[in-house]
Structure 1
């Protein structure tokens, strides 16, 4: 099932569906809360609810403004269903472009690291296409680590808790073929402008990239060459206006930098390859 575009439900006096068929009641409740795609969301919620009590609880959480993916307990990403928990960053469809860029540049990769992994969606998507790989994922947020283990461990991977490279085993130094780092890149002053679903229900550490949005990107780039195998690549997602600075940062780290853009997905991915 596809991930629906985000909507912005507002508070409602009651999440209980009005009289009528269950579907009509759910649609009405979601529409009253401001959900733009009320019909599509209602179908997903009805499919996920096992009892009337559970249905009411799911509708109540959606009406309260929780992201649909957190309400359902999963997100669609790169053709996969990724388990998701409350308080964990929701993988965006545009980040599928980062996965595609990694696969295009390292189709024979055998060691993959998903840094700032959140739910582990990027690493899992890479492993699903590459086949058996040595997969590691890491995040500083304990809630993300717990969630990522639900997705990564069944793929034979390992999830580590800690701050960027400090979380990884030293045995990975110089061996990583794909280092995917979906770093936070929203400038601190712009976090308050994000949709309420992100501001209120996703961890700040997954959103706030510092004054210009590039603080974490700089930290990752500075250390990445020590961890990459010869020919290995670092990939990060960034915004259009940040891309020139990101490219310059990669070049200063002695990585061969390349910018790929998807206008359809509004995605910008900077890749740096180790000589």
Structure 2
């Protein structure tokens, strides 16, 4: 229940947020006032936001693909650009497109809050969903978001905790793996640098270490004709393409100028459908 009427004028909240550098101060003020149960609660929420805590951590949720996704403190905040990854995966994995059958099998690697998996479950009918993250805090959060879809969330390093029976059955492997080069971590906004787990940001010296590991094992898990979809940056996309091709996948690049998003898609060849 929101504070109504608030003894703290909305304009005062906006002024504090704007002074702290919040670009969308009006929108944030509305959300914080709506989330507060008491005037003291509102003050505490605004204080946390002014101190630099990400808005999603203050509220406890993020809007993603039309869903309200729980985001606990210390968990990577889903970015709006990653909605493009979801749209690409959904287009390739609907019942008419899924190579393994009418119930598409989706694996969300480096799942964080589970936002991508939850959004795909909402977009696809009867998806068989699995998600993995190495961070126990993220796994706990993802289980809350994915439980309603009947999905399973595993704690571990990439493919290691997945059921072996999934090998060769996965229609879509989606990976929003960390892709920030180690030396660039210090250039990130404080909200990310100070409040999100380093393991969700740091992609190694060139930002592509985790992507390489994802691509190397992907052909063993994908169904023939299945797809690996990797979010990356526009500058890194040529290297990501090369990595997927080197591991036997047929790569292509999809971009969204509106979301400033780049996704590289690698398809496992469906040899049974090739002539000869």
> Scaled by the length of structure 1, what TM-score is found?
0.91
Residue 199 of structure 2: aligned partner: 205
Q: Distance in 1 between matches of 2:172 and 2:41?
A: 41
User: 2:63 is matched with which residue?
Assistant: 76
3-state SS of the aligned residue for 2:89?
Answer: helix
Bigger shift: 185-194 or 96-105?
96-105
CA deviation string 1:114-171 (max 9, x = no partner): 0000000101111101121111111000110010011001111111000000121111
Counterpart pick for 2:220 among 219, 226, 229:
226
Query: Which residue, out of 172, 188, 192, partners 1:194?
Result: 188
Q: Secondary structure in 1 aligned to 2:168?
A: coil
Supply the distance in 2 between the matched residues of 1:169 and 1:57 (Cα, whole angstroms): 44
Q: Identify which of 33, 43, 53 aligns with 1:66.
A: 53
Structure 2 counterpart of 1:35, from 14, 17, 22:
22
Q: Could you tell me which residue of structure 1 aligns to residue 128 of structure 2? A: 134
Alpha-carbon deviation of 1:24? Answer: 2.2
- After superposition, the CA RMSD in angstroms is 1.2
Within a 5 Å distance, the mapping from 1:77-226 to structure 2 comes to 77-108=64-95, 109=98, 110-226=104-220
Deviation at 1:54, TM superposition (A): 1.6
Tell me the number of residue pairs that the alignment of Structure 1 and Structure 2 aligns: 257
Shift of 1:71: 0.7
Q: Matched residue of 1:166: which SS?
A: coil
Match of 1:240 in 2: 234
1:56 maps to 2:50: no
The CA deviation string for residues 20-54 of structure 1, in whole angstroms up to 9 with x for no partner, is 64312221221222212111100000011111222
Compare 103-112 and 229-238 and name the one that shifted more: 103-112
How far apart are the structure 1 equivalents of 2:7 and 2:114? Answer: 40
Q: Please list every run of 5 or more consecutive structure 2 residues that lacks an aligned counterpart in the other structure.
A: 1-5, 99-103, 270-276
